[in-house]
Structure 1
Amino acid sequence: MKCLVGTLLLVSALPSLCTVAPPPDSECGMSYRLRTFRVTTRCNLTTLKEKQVNEIKAWTTNLVLPIVYLFTFCVGLPTNLLALWILVFRTKRRPLTTLLINLTVIDCLLLLVLPFRIVYLFRGSHWELGEPLCRIVMAMLYGNMYSTVWSLAFVAVDRYVAVVHPFGAKSLRSRRWSLGLTAAVWVVMLAAMLPLLLSQQTYPLDDPKITTCHDALPESVQENYFLPYFATLFTTCFLLPFVIVMFCHSAILRTLLAEGRKYCHTIRVMGLMIMVFIVFLLPCNVLLILTYSDSWPDGEDLYIPYMISLTISTYNSSFNPYVFYDVCRDCRERTRNALCCVPDMEDIPSSQGTHTSSSARQRSKVTLLAMTSYRGRLTQQPEVNMMT
């Protein structure tokens, strides 16, 4: 009888045992973390707390953020394609032009993968496109961020050499110079993408019934793998380029002030680059370190702010064409001509050019004759006065 009673008590206690999260080291307590969310496997079911489910299924995550991504895509893709067309086909190939072409290509690559991110969020953070594509999308998301930062830094270095060291710029700013800086940007981009391309990014959850893409990762992987990875990127691919940009533009401004030249344009370009760093990229990088280090008092509250900052960071790809529009004078003229349907002088056929030049020579001859006769009247005018 006592054994029967004990067995009944054990059976009645089983449901309560399955609802209590076991210690992380036990078989049934394999732990994941959804950014800062604790995801545990309870009796072979991967579940979330009610608050965490509300966060991942919130209208901000599944409605507002994909709409912002969609706006970035609709604005950024046409402007970057226009910028790429002008830079490749309508602008003289200079070192600065090569750097801007490279920056525009990187932005276009990011914008082309944004639709997959939009579908993922609209479907309630549920990924159905396979592990390889998830890795590519997330790798492009972070790779674009840090390669853009270094691209802007190299653009600032190119302008620094051209303005502050104009004599050395003639020999330094060559085709080899621009190709070397472009290759360095791609090395940074591949280095930032490689850890994401080589690690698993999709993890299925049972409650809610979704497959996450980079949102749920094993806790040990986050602390031992991604925390040092993102901390290194923050130092070498955000802080260092930001210091370089500030130094270069400050030196350019001092040089222009010392020579008494106009500096309003330099201040505007400097302000645009600082805006890209501070408004678009800094919040995402800071929150990224906080979420992986788990140093925030209530880490669960960082999920929505981090997702918002990551979405805003992608808008820098739509804002970069306005930066190069201000940086490159030739680009401004070509863009205005393209938007106003005004043909460039270099695009006019040679026959028209010959006719134009001959007409100009005829007009110059007429003007010269008129000026000669006018000067003759002026020299004769005193004599007439004396005679009268």
Structure 2
Amino acid sequence: MKLLAGTLFFVTGLLTVLGASPSFGSPNQCPNTSILLRTFRLTVSCNITTLKEKQLKDIQAPVTNLYLPFLYLLAFSVGLPFNLVALWVLVFRTKPLPSTLLLINLTVADCFLLLVLPFRIVYHFRGNHWELGEPFCRVVMAVFYGNMYGSAWFLAAVAIDRYVALVHPFKARTLRTQRVSVYMVVAVWIVVLAAMLPLLMSQQTYVLDKLQITTCHDALPEEEHENYFLPYFSALFAFCFLLPFAIILFCHSAVLRTLLAERKRYAHAIRVTVLVLLVFIVCFLPSNVLLLLTYADNRVDGNGEDIYIPYMVSLAVSTFNSCIDPVIFYFVSTEFRQKLKSSLCCSSDYQGQLSSQGKHISSSAGQRTNVTLLSMNSRQTAL
């Protein structure tokens, strides 16, 4: 994970040294150049940018400069301690199971997001004014979107792991291994880094002269808006949201059908399914849909001004996935539940219960074949 973070900062540092700020057309040259502030059209004429009165009110509205940072602050205050506790339990108190590696990396992705939220909080509190420079703006936005799409793929990987363990337990010996988990983790991080490169390599800060503020990822030249970022975010929506969502729906429905058919306990499986659907439908879906509408509406008729505030609110709500993920860990992993309870409660009765369960499994082992034991162990680690 340190290597990934180092790579991100190396890329942005290299861009700074080389003076690179790729943008498709300079917004500060004559004659007039059209710029979009999300759903707002700005006109730049000889370094002077102008906005309509309604647009000025919206970008300086209490929703943007007060309620948004409050939502980010709430997500930060709740999500950071939850994820730090989850990371400690997963790294130091949990057995290195294949699913554990996936959960650790999902927690790391959430921690990356939570660590950059204070910069977004200050940005909005100061009236959407960015003072930390172009390179750091790119890093913050890459981490911001990278968490959303990386979390989607890590949740899909966890769903696949549970699907193999519960639906195909006899294949788990070859499919649920540390090596396979490492391959999945590396693949997800490569996808995330590749998906965020366009944000890292394009200009994200623009000055709005009338307001005397520098926006971060809120103002884009219209040519980039229509010809670059619309297809870019459309591709992210298809491959980093819809595809993992489809995988999750298939895997979780198959798990529930299997548990119901075998009359197994399925309360935990239902909770996991509901929580994952909550992350996708409540946290990720609104921001992704409104993001596409923002770009598509401006391309069609330019009348998408009413989408600006709903989109910004949905983007803030999307960060609450970092608060829900640790709860998913609790229901997804028996090992995580046990270690969390033993670490926080230190209950001797609970430890005695675990010991009696172990003795019961050991006494009944002689009555089962090795294949049956493998199937049982595989399912226990996934429930």
TM bin (shorter chain): 0.7 to 0.9
Q: What SS class does the counterpart of residue 153 from structure 1 fall into?
A: helix
User: How far is 1:63 from its partner?
Assistant: 0.3
> Which residue number in structure 1 is paired with residue 92 of structure 2?
89
Measured in 1, the distance between the counterparts of 2:172 and 2:37 equals 50
Q: CA RMSD in A?
A: 1.9
Measured in 2, the distance between the counterparts of 1:104 and 1:299 equals 36
Counterpart code for 1:249: H
Alignment of 1:100 with 2:94, yes or no, is no
Deviations 1:88-145 (A, max 9, x none): 0000010110000000011001100111111100000000100011000001110110
Match of 1:272 among 272, 275, 283: 275
Match of 2:322 among 285, 293, 317: 317
Alignment of 1:204 with 2:216, yes or no, is no
Counterpart code for 2:130: W
Alignment of 1:328 with 2:333, yes or no, is yes
Which residues in structure 2 correspond to 1:15-30 (within 5 Å)? 27-30=30-33
Counterpart code for 1:151: F
User: How far is 1:296 from its partner?
Assistant: 7.4
Q: Whose Rg is larger?
A: 1
> Which residue number in structure 2 is paired with residue 78 of structure 1?
81
Indicate conservation of the 8 Å contact 1:273/1:323, yes or no. Answer: yes
Q: Which has the higher contact order (CA 8 A, sep 6+)?
A: 2
Counterpart code for 1:71: L
Deviations 1:49-79 (A, max 9, x none): 1111101100000000001101111111111
Match of 2:235 among 229, 232, 235: 232
Indicate conservation of the 8 Å contact 2:39/2:302, yes or no. Answer: no
Which residues in structure 2 correspond to 1:138-287 (within 5 Å)? 138-287=141-290
Percent of aligned pairs sharing the same letter: 63
> Which residue number in structure 2 is paired with residue 358 of structure 1?
none
Indicate conservation of the 8 Å contact 2:148/2:318, yes or no. Answer: yes
Which segments of structure 1 move beyond 4 Å, counting only runs of 4 or more?
A: 341-346
Deviations 1:272-298 (A, max 9, x none): 111111000000000000111125773
Indicate conservation of the 8 Å contact 1:150/1:237, yes or no. Answer: yes
User: How far is 1:28 from its partner?
Assistant: 3.5
TM-score when normalising by structure 1: 0.80
User: How far is 1:318 from its partner?
Assistant: 1.5
Indicate conservation of the 8 Å contact 1:202/1:211, yes or no. Answer: yes
Measured in 2, the distance between the counterparts of 1:44 and 1:77 equals 41
Indicate conservation of the 8 Å contact 2:30/2:45, yes or no. Answer: no
> Which residue number in structure 2 is paired with residue 304 of structure 1?
309
TM-score when normalising by structure 2: 0.81
Q: What SS class does the counterpart of residue 192 from structure 2 fall into?
A: helix
Structure 2: tracts of 5 or more residues without a match: 1-26, 353-383
